[in-house]
Amino acid sequence: MGGVAYLNWIDTDMVRDADQHAVLRELRAHMPPPARKIRPAPSVAEDLATAVERRKPSVYVPAWLRAVQPLRAFLPPLVTHIARTELPRLERTTPFTATGLLGAGGRADDRTRNA
């Protein structure tokens, strides 16, 4: 039996690296307060393990993500709208640079490609 996990921001090196880039930090800052919160990885792992042990077909971490599930189709256009209006304003004060791959996995991939 398979399952699906819907996750929000998890405190990993990839998320911490993302916050070092103005464009990604700004996009997250425009999310509603609960959506921008970063959850500790051990806490997320516990929630996922509990869901697997209970053979749940789906798990939402944090639980409030279940409430926005019906709105998922509307989120990409909303994010696009915010990006098109807010990012040009930000770029006038902070020029954007390419982020490249993020986190330890991204750095390892870069080293492999450049070796």
74-95: per-residue pLDDT in tens?
888 887 887 788 778 877 887 7
Distance from C-alpha of 90 to C-alpha of 34, rounded to nearest angstrom: 23
Dihedral pair phi/psi, residue 105, rounded to 5°: -65, -40
Global confidence as pTM: 0.71
Ramachandran angles phi, psi of 39, nearest 5°: -100, 145
Report pLDDT digits (tens) over 40-67. 999 999 999 999 999 999 999 999 999 9
Asked whether 51 and 59 are in contact (CB, 8 A), the reply is: yes
- For residues 103 and 110, give the distance between their C-alpha atoms in angstroms, rounded to a whole number: 11
The domain spans of the chain are 4-114
Torsion angle of the four alpha carbons 32, 34, 37, 42, in this order, in degrees rounded to the nearest 10: -150
